[in-house]
Every structure is written in C-alpha cells, then in structure tokens.
Amino acid sequence: MSDGLGLPVRFGAGPGQENDIKQAPGLIAGFCPGYVIADRAYDADHFMDLIYEAGAEPVIPPRRHRRYQHPYDKDLYKERNQIERLFAKLKEFRRIATRYDKILANFLGFVKLAAIQLWLK
C-alpha cells in the first residue's frame, strides 16, 4: 500500500500461489484512506464492503464477467501507476528483486529497510 505520493505505507506478503486479495483486508484495517485504488483482481463484493466500512471509496474497475458493471472514476484510476512505480523502486534493491531469503520475516525486514530508505530520500 502506498500513499498519494507513491511512498510505501504498509506491506503484506503471502505464499506465491495465494491470491493477493487475501492480504488486502489486513492492509486497510485501521487505516483511513480516502480512496482505495486497485486493479480488477480486487473486484470482489466482500472487499468492496470492507472499503466502504473503512470510510473510503473504492476505485476498482469491474471484472468483465460481472453482471452489474459498477462505475468507477477512470481519471482517479490512472493514479494506480504510483504503486507500480513503487514496486519498480523497491526492485532496484537487488535483494528484494531476486528474493534470496527463504524466510518471509527476513524478506519483509529488508522490504521495510528499503521503504525507510525511500522515505528518507
């Protein structure tokens, strides 16, 4: 999760075969964003309900197979590139890009160190 400036705020990681939406509720819990911008993979009714409960507005394009295609702000959705740019900045750190660490706690520790370095720039 990143803020409006593209700086890291929260991280979550899980097994590679697990869908990312399973990590998302933990990331927005106790956080008061104005908007939650995500891609189509996060278009699920239970996740949208969590976003509304947090007092935020979801900016998530609907999946193509949905019967009801809910509206979303297409101009605001363009800001999602900030999270993609954040991933690119984090992958400049070789240890994160190659993920040599077998233990998740070690990997997340180095992600947090990289995030601190990005905040200090």
Three-state SS sequence of 77-101: HHHHHHHHHHHHHHCCCHHHHHCCC
Write out pLDDT tens, residues 34-82. Answer: 888 888 888 989 999 999 988 889 999 998 888 888 888 999 999 888 8
Each domain of the chain, given as residue ranges in start order, spans: 25-79, 91-121
Write out pLDDT tens, residues 90-115. Answer: 999 998 888 888 888 888 899 999 99
Q: Is the pTM of this model over 0.85?
A: no
> Can you give the pLDDT at residue 75?
92
At residue 117, does pLDDT exceed 90?
yes
